[in-house]
Structure 1
């Protein structure tokens, strides 16, 4: 019976890939989940690792640990380098070739430096644990270096922090860095004053959190500015070097830069030879398949799918989760594509945290800010973490931080190139 089972290959262990695999557990399908890493990463909380609030293990879970109890799900740590739609095979970097009856592509996205690849060397994005740990070490090393320089003018660059991009990740990162630089870490550095630190949030558009209701966008900007963040709007970046960032005719000298300005789909999507949008996402139909195919699905950040009003769905975790469940259920029910219901995204709201007890949220037309929004944000993020152990640890860390104002993970291990 095992040899007659159809095979579903899922590429990507993010929200969409994990959701699709869960929908297919204990079914008649052989499921192969492939990812370059051995863990599922809760990306919305990466910035908390970067800013020393959480440990990597708090927001990551081994994929084998998630599916170890399901005999029909196999996990493979490898990279897909080629897709052949005609023969229904994929080629792995290690040289193995796998056949599929159904292919679900959920490879995620990567940061877009708009043709300036060298910028990534100086302003890392926040997509992986390595990124987060690199940024964390840069911040900690800069504080150590500043503490050793008595001349305030010469140590100024090490106390500057620039975040490029004022979407949710940029806003949350800038707010967290402001709390570190102006409150938390200063207790350990007696020679430094919070007044010496400068935090910049740079955005090419005319507002922060574009896409959010205007009142929440303005509230977020106001909260950031109260925390000491310099919000620079209508300020496109023109160059990034090792010693700082150039914004039109202004240069900000600092080694501490974080990129959160734009994303593009995984290069793997190009292997499908299908229509893509300007972000490199596959343009899928109402069933999340690529045109001309009934068995190749693209979901999550790699998919260009539209809502009922014709607007592209955002690259958010809830979108990927719902897409994964939809595709998994569609395959499981064995209903022909033409007879299946179209994918419908249920928007349950958006939210972003700015700092301690500061957040903004929009839920089903209702807007919240301040402590209520922050508590809502905490609850939702803990709920979406995989595993009771991770939820308990994050809850404990946040409770400790809220009571003591102290961030727990402040180790320098030599990862950073700035050591």
Structure 2
């Protein structure tokens, strides 16, 4: 327990923003940090799709939070779910093996976001998204079990549906996932099945927007779409999901010639996000407003209105011209950590938070990417190498970095992936 004179800092969420705050303040002797998360690991979400498609193992993108603070006796890590925040008494209530009341002097809430189905939550069971490690592992099971079901069915129509994969949402996650599913089916699994050929696989990328990778400059959007189509991926734009069930997806507003219905047993949702419910817990007592995605508005220093010692960061806040990406969360966490340290040292507060756009990158296929960094637009293998260097740099731990490089090299030089385990229960659950 912290000494009476120790400043108590509670951080909710061990993602990019929360972890950056904790690591900034952990070396100080005058603070006690309590990091609360509903999972026991930090998730490197930009590489989650590679877990779902068998390139990387879960541990490579999700180091245990406790291992990161092994040598910091002033940091407590609690596996619990926050269900109440009392701004009046400065206490956080969290439930794990038992209910805890955790007092704070400074609170940082960086609880991230979850999937948004735009009012159609009933789609979640048949079109799962990918925001957590458990999501990625379930998706990997769904992908691989679909091939197994296609191998054993004697119905040609059913086999076609099992071999049709629809990804809804053509942002970076959707584009990266579509490329990897196509490569997995047509290259990695080649020659392994006897009742269908890799070219039988159909991968469809759907979006209601008129472009893939809408946040990128137009020339890169066009190059990415051409690369996707060269890989045999069907790109359906201006096509909104109007209905999703266990057997397929209904599309509205599709361009002439595009199907209104696609029969598919594997649909993945990558189209929208909704801020953590904790944003609602903070909004009413603080007077902060919420946008359509449930994200909080904050003061310029990322604190809540009227509560200068309560901060919010990451995907659960709305800042003008700041995208919901890892780089933004990292910068917000660094800013909050510096602001708290300055207060403890009696120094002047820093200037209001200002986001520095360091560019956008997305992988399209196996070793092809697009990258927009300031005025520099790159595509192809050079962009992929830049993407690889950046992502390796931000992975936590040298062992994870080295193992990831090894896995990528193996993936580029062979046609085999180790993370491909399913069993009969995985297949039976899809019937």
Flag whether TM exceeds 0.5 (same fold). yes
CA gap of 1:337–1:188, structure 2 versus 1, over 3 A, is farther
Q: 2:238 — aligned with what?
A: 234
Instruction: State whether structure 2 residue 430 is matched by structure 1 residue 418.
Output: yes
Q: Write out per-residue CA displacement over residues 342-369 of structure 1, whole angstroms, 9 at most, x where no aligned residue.
A: 1121111110001112100011220110
Instruction: State whether structure 2 residue 221 is matched by structure 1 residue 207.
Output: no
Q: 2:85 — aligned with what?
A: 83
Deviation at 1:70, TM superposition (A): 0.9
Separation of aligned partners in 2, 1:71 and 1:330: 23
Separation of aligned partners in 2, 1:406 and 1:192: 19
Separation of aligned partners in 1, 2:139 and 2:237: 23
Query: Residues 16 and 326 of structure 2 are in contact (CA less than 8 Å); yes or no, is this contact kept in structure 1?
Result: yes
Secondary structure at the residue paired with 1:295? strand
Q: Report matched runs for 1:232-381 at 5 Å.
A: 232-248=236-252, 250-272=260-282, 273=284, 274-306=288-320, 311=321, 313-334=322-343, 339-381=349-391
Deviation at 1:192, TM superposition (A): 1.7
Q: 2:411 — aligned with what?
A: 401
Separation of aligned partners in 2, 1:154 and 1:131: 25
The CA RMSD measured in Å over matched residues stands at 1.6
Deviation at 1:336, TM superposition (A): 7.4
Q: How many residues align?
A: 414
Instruction: State whether structure 2 residue 169 is matched by structure 1 residue 165.
Output: yes
Separation of aligned partners in 2, 1:163 and 1:235: 12
Separation of aligned partners in 1, 2:301 and 2:270: 31
Q: TM-score, normalised by structure 2?
A: 0.93
Query: Residues 144 and 420 of structure 2 are in contact (CA less than 8 Å); yes or no, is this contact kept in structure 1?
Result: yes
Secondary structure at the residue paired with 1:348? coil
Q: Write out per-residue CA displacement over residues 130-158 of structure 1, whole angstroms, 9 at most, x where no aligned residue.
A: 11111111111111121123554331111
Instruction: State whether structure 2 residue 83 is matched by structure 1 residue 74.
Output: no
**Which has the larger displacement, 389-398 or 332-341?**
332-341
Secondary structure at the residue paired with 1:3? coil
Give structure 1 stretches of 5+ with no counterpart: none
Instruction: State whether structure 2 residue 397 is matched by structure 1 residue 387.
Output: yes
Query: Residues 11 and 35 of structure 1 are in contact (CA less than 8 Å); yes or no, is this contact kept in structure 2?
Result: yes
Q: Write out per-residue CA displacement over residues 44-98 of structure 1, whole angstroms, 9 at most, x where no aligned residue.
A: 1111111111111111100000111112111101011111111111111232111
Query: Residues 134 and 415 of structure 1 are in contact (CA less than 8 Å); yes or no, is this contact kept in structure 2?
Result: no
Separation of aligned partners in 1, 2:169 and 2:176: 11
Deviation at 1:415, TM superposition (A): 5.2
Secondary structure at the residue paired with 1:305? coil
Secondary structure at the residue paired with 1:341? coil
Separation of aligned partners in 1, 2:91 and 2:174: 39
Query: Residues 186 and 192 of structure 1 are in contact (CA less than 8 Å); yes or no, is this contact kept in structure 2?
Result: no
Query: Residues 14 and 106 of structure 1 are in contact (CA less than 8 Å); yes or no, is this contact kept in structure 2?
Result: yes
Q: TM-score, normalised by structure 1?
A: 0.96
Q: Write out per-residue CA displacement over residues 115-135 of structure 1, whole angstroms, 9 at most, x where no aligned residue.
A: 211101011111111111111
Separation of aligned partners in 2, 1:149 and 1:242: 17
Separation of aligned partners in 2, 1:328 and 1:133: 33
**Which has the larger displacement, 140-149 or 265-274?**
140-149
Aligned counterpart in structure 1 of residue 179 of structure 2, from 175, 181, 206? 175
Separation of aligned partners in 1, 2:426 and 2:16: 28
Q: Write out per-residue CA displacement over residues 258-278 of structure 1, whole angstroms, 9 at most, x where no aligned residue.
A: 100000100011011121111
Deviation at 1:338, TM superposition (A): 8.0
Deviation at 1:103, TM superposition (A): 0.6
Query: Residues 8 and 103 of structure 1 are in contact (CA less than 8 Å); yes or no, is this contact kept in structure 2?
Result: yes
Separation of aligned partners in 2, 1:415 and 1:48: 20
Q: 1:29 — aligned with what?
A: 31
Secondary structure at the residue paired with 2:23? helix
Query: Residues 26 and 71 of structure 1 are in contact (CA less than 8 Å); yes or no, is this contact kept in structure 2?
Result: no
Separation of aligned partners in 1, 2:430 and 2:81: 30
Instruction: State whether structure 2 residue 131 is matched by structure 1 residue 117.
Output: no
Separation of aligned partners in 1, 2:312 and 2:185: 41
Q: Report matched runs for 1:10-159 at 5 Å.
A: 10-27=11-28, 28-93=30-95, 94-159=98-163
